[in-house]
């Protein structure tokens, strides 16, 4: 594609066509990948064909000519343009990185799909009995990735991962511990396979509104949310990678991706019960429909790590004793198990907040912007605390 002069300067879609291995032709001007087939209309959702462009998945029921979410042909054309720009950014940011943590969710599947050398990608999936592995296998098959390493840790290996998280991060939030343990296992496996760089889907939910709780929020709330996320989102896989000395890239959270997310109309991101709408639709177009319309599953559920953590606590009888020997009353069995285990590993718990007004009402540790990283509690402006209760 070197030297190709496009009449669509500013949107190098030719790079995207090359990355996906499809033919791109602008009559009278250029052809990219001339030996590849043209994209067929059959690959588009039925709702895209002749008539109104609604954008709902093919299995949804609707009256002919009725677009319940207000799609028009123009609106999808606009949103598709933003999706393609994001694909170009992610492809560019991913270049030279040959490994990926693949959950089979929207974000990691999208990063893999637009990788400029995706057939050379090596994917890593952690399977503790959740649904992720099925979708990850599907993505590997459809995209033709080079290799797929599925890590099936036993309870002993999972226990070691939990201990690493407790010692390294000093948190007892069950959700945080379960999620970070998966990142630790996947990145350790990637490092063991000689991966010099690992791609992740971090930042996709934050910037492109993937979390389910965002779907019924007001426009003002969503605008403020993504502005704040563009400034300060947490990237858990990147964080664990930094502690392990593994180079983890999050192309969905690059500077250009953040800039594009703030430009993208909200209508391109939230439709009905779906977040990350334009990314889902592009995945559907690329032949990954089952993944594109997969319900949002947090890593703790998709991998099975939260269920595994409960099994570990039960096996080690970690729920007994509750708050005995601790300086706070744990709200759940898992909080209790993790607090006792952390104390046994390090000989202490992190200190409590020095100022009472900044203390978490659940564990006494410091709150930052209404959130306690130690126990995972969030406190509303009205002082109402919520936390994991899933025992």
Residues of the chain falling short of pLDDT 50: 1-11, 38-74, 319
Radius of gyration, alpha carbons of the chain: 23
- pLDDT confidence of residue 95: 95
Please answer whether residues 186 and 101 qualify as being in contact, where contact means their C-beta atoms are separated by less than 8 angstroms: yes
Interior angle at CA 321, CA 156 and CA 184, nearest 5? 30
- Cα(311)–Cα(214) distance, rounded to whole angstroms? 31
Residues 324-366: tens digit of each pLDDT: 789 999 999 999 999 999 999 999 999 999 998 899 999 999 9
- pLDDT number for residue 295: 87
Residue 26: what pLDDT? 58
Cβ atoms < 10 Å from Cβ of 69 = 15
**161: nearest Cα among 14, 358, 308:** 308
pLDDT digits (tens, 9 = 90+) for 68-84: 344 444 477 889 999 99
Q: What is the pLDDT of residue 58?
A: 32
- What pLDDT is stored for residue 382 in this prediction? 87
């Amino acid at each position: 594609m070197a030297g190709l002069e496009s009449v669509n300067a500013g949107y190098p879609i030719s790079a995207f066509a090359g990355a996906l291995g499809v033919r791109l032709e602008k009559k009278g001007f250029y052809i990219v990948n001339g030996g590849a087939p043209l994209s067929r209309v059959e690959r588009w959702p039925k709702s895209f064909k002749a008539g109104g462009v609604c954008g709902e998945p093919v299995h949804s029921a609707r009256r002919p000519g009725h677009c319940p979410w207000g799609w028009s042909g123009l609106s999808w054309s606009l949103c598709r343009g933003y999706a393609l720009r994001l694909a170009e950014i992610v492809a560019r940011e991913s270049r030279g990185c040959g490994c990926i943590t693949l959950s089979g969710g929207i974000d990691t599947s999208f990063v893999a799909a637009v990788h400029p050398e995706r057939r050379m990608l090596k994917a890593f999936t952690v399977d503790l009995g959740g649904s992720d592995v099925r979708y990850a296998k599907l993505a590997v098959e459809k995209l033709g990735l080079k290799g797929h390493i599925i890590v099936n840790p036993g309870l002993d290996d999972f226990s070691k991962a939990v201990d690493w998280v407790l010692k390294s991060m000093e948190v007892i939030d069950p959700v945080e511990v379960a999620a970070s343990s998966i990142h630790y296992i996947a990145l350790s496996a990637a490092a063991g396979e000689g991966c010099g760089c690992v791609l992740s889907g971090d930042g996709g939910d934050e910037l492109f509104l993937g979390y389910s709780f965002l779907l019924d929020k007001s426009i003002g709330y969503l605008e403020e949310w993504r502005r704040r996320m563009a400034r300060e989102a947490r990237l858990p896989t990147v964080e664990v990678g930094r502690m392990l000395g593994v180079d983890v890239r999050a192309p969905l959270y690059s500077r250009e991706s953040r800039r594009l997310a703030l430009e993208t109309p909200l209508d391109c991101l939230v439709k009905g019960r779906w977040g990350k709408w334009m990314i889902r639709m592009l995945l559907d177009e690329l032949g990954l429909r089952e993944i594109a319309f997969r319900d949002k599953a947090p890593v703790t559920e998709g991998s099975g790590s939260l269920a595994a953590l409960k099994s570990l606590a039960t096996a080690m009888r970690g729920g007994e004793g509750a708050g005995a020997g601790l300086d706070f009353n744990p709200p759940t069995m898992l909080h209790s198990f993790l607090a006792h285990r952390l104390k046994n590993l390090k000989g202490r718990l992190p200190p409590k907040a020095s100022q009472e007004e900044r203390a978490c009402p659940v564990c006494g540790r410091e709150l930052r912007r209404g959130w306690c990283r130690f126990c995972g509690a969030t406190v509303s402006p009205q002082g109402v605390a919520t936390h994991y209760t899933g025992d």
